[in-house]
Structure 1
Amino acid sequence: MKNRFDKDAVTWDDLPRRVNLAKAVVKNIIPYLKGDEKVLEFGCGTGLVGINTAPYVKELTGIDTSAKMVEKFNQKAQKLNINAKAMVKDIFEISEKYDIVISSMTMHHIKDISLLSDKLSEITNEAFLADLVKEDGTFHTRGNEDVAHFGFSSEELNKYFGSWDIDYKIIHTITKHRDFPVFLLHIKK
């Protein structure tokens, strides 16, 4: 299956609403960082979140299923000379341990969130997950063929991540044909 994100990678960073969302996510994660962490970002895309988080941590690894997104991430990291690298992988292929896992706008593309919770339990004790609050399916104006969830309610998140300590807050609103709130879920063991 062709990865539509390969095509999107070229102009991904050109959309101000994507850049603004990434800034909001980074701003809300940075206060929790000590600077010595080994961090994994899944669904890293072009690095809008990860590359802006990298200066605050010891090491950042990005993973994405889109080769073109990973290529763009690595070009930016090299140009900025920061300790960040990305590779083409799926979160479920990761076995290495990380101090923190971060992700922005990726969870709604993952079919089995309970499996994701289990995977995160295997590889980390702390994660920051940003995604859409439950919506009506109209967020993706290009179609929903690769969308597994139309956002998440706080009740659903409590169910999926019930074995974790959970901090949930709305951190941003994406304005398209209507407003779409974005949450940041901070989970910790």
Structure 2
Amino acid sequence: MPEQASSYDTKHAKTIDQLIAHIQKRKDFLGANWVTDDTEDETEADGSRKPGVDKDSVRFLDYACGTGLVTRALAPYTTQCVGIDISENMVASYNARAENQGLSKDEMYAYQGNLLDKEHPNPAPLSDANFFNFDVAGVGLGAHHFEDPDFAARQIAARLRPGGVFFIIDFLPHAAADGHQHKSVHTVTHHGFSEERVREMFTKAGVGKGFALEELGNGVVFTSMGKNGQDMKRKVFIARGEKA
């Protein structure tokens, strides 16, 4: 496996831990009907559901999932996480971690695929029922790589059930000269998004209901991702909305 995918989590562990903490702190802000610790009171000792208890599933689509940062943040509050990424190596890393945790494919699994190709917007491998009707769908730090974020938002929102929650985590506007310098820098097509721009994106995608945007603290330090491999501090937001 190429170095970038295999060593990504280790190299950027401090940044990943920061982001996971920020996301988990804002799970109520996201507003999904998450699985909670109360679930433990609804199961028998062997893990089976107690009679008369019907706990809804919470299915999460992690688009442009990479090695699974956002999945790891939200997995404790879901019943199924499905990742999609264009990179075979990132998908392999995501799945290796899930397997090492003893999780089944029904609980956490990623697939190589692309929903953003306008010539093939509904690829056959991602067209069966398992890839629709998600309760939550999100993109973590991927939107600034998308050529057409509006199209991307529509495509991902189409995979949500009515009333499902869509969110993105990305950079607030910044100077182009401040671009991150890891191997994917050449794919950066947007130097951050303003709240107005994100609201417009959500509205066009049909997920503007209950729109809200929140900045993650006073900025996030991205280790070894600035110029000349230096650390880079960037203002990061999380935005959410619901599918009508």
Q: TM-score, normalised by structure 2?
A: 0.68
1:175 aligns with 2:173: no
Give the 3-state SS of the residue equivalent to 2:186 in structure 1: coil
After superposition, the C-alpha distances for 1:1-41 in whole angstroms (9 at most, x for unaligned) are xxxx9541121112112331233123323663422211110
Q: Which residue of 2 aligns with 1:85?
A: 109
Q: Which amino acid aligns with 2:213?
A: Y
Partner of 2:242: 188
Aligned with 1:51 (options 59, 72, 79): 72
What's the CA shift for 1:149? Answer: 0.5
Q: Which runs of 4+ in 1 moved over 4 A?
A: none
In structure 1, C-alpha distance between the alignment counterparts of 2:5 and 2:77, rounded to whole Å: 25
2:45 is aligned to none
Q: Note the C-alpha offset of 1:123.
A: 1.4
Give the letter aligned to residue 85 of structure 1: Y
Q: 1:178 to 1:122 in 2, by over 3 A?
A: closer
Instruction: Decide whether the 8 Å contact of 1:9 with 1:68 is kept in 2.
Output: yes
Q: Which consecutive unaligned segments of at least 5 residues does structure 1 have?
A: none
8 Å CA contact 2:23–2:73 kept in 1: the answer is no
**Of 145, 158, 164, which aligns to 2:199?**
158
Question: Among 179, 187, 190, which residue is 1:139 paired with?
Answer: 179
Counterpart residue number, 1:13: 9
Equivalent residue pairs, number: 185
The SS at the match of 2:216 is: strand
Q: Note the 1:105-116 alignment, pairs <5 A.
A: 105-116=141-152
Q: Give the root-mean-square deviation of aligned CA atoms.
A: 2.2
Secondary structure, counterpart of 1:99 in structure 2: strand
Secondary structure of the residue that 1:100 maps to in structure 2?
strand
Provide structure 2 residue ranges, at least 5 long, that are not aligned to the other structure.
Answer: 36-56, 117-122, 223-230
SS of equivalent residue, structure 1 residue 91: coil
Which position in structure 1 is the counterpart of 2:91?
A: 70
Separation of aligned partners in 1, 2:148 and 2:72: 27
Cα deviation code 1:56-85 (max 9, x no counterpart):
211110111111111111111111123200
Q: Percent same amino acid among aligned pairs? A: 22
SS of the aligned residue for 1:149 comes to coil
Higher Cα Rg, which structure: 2
Contact 2:157 2:166 in 1 (8 A): no
> Does the C-alpha gap of structure 1 residues 160 and 52 become closer, same or farther in structure 2, counting only changes over 3 Å?
closer
More displaced, 102-111 or 33-42? 33-42
3-state secondary structure, aligned to 1:9: helix
Letter in 2 for 1:131: D
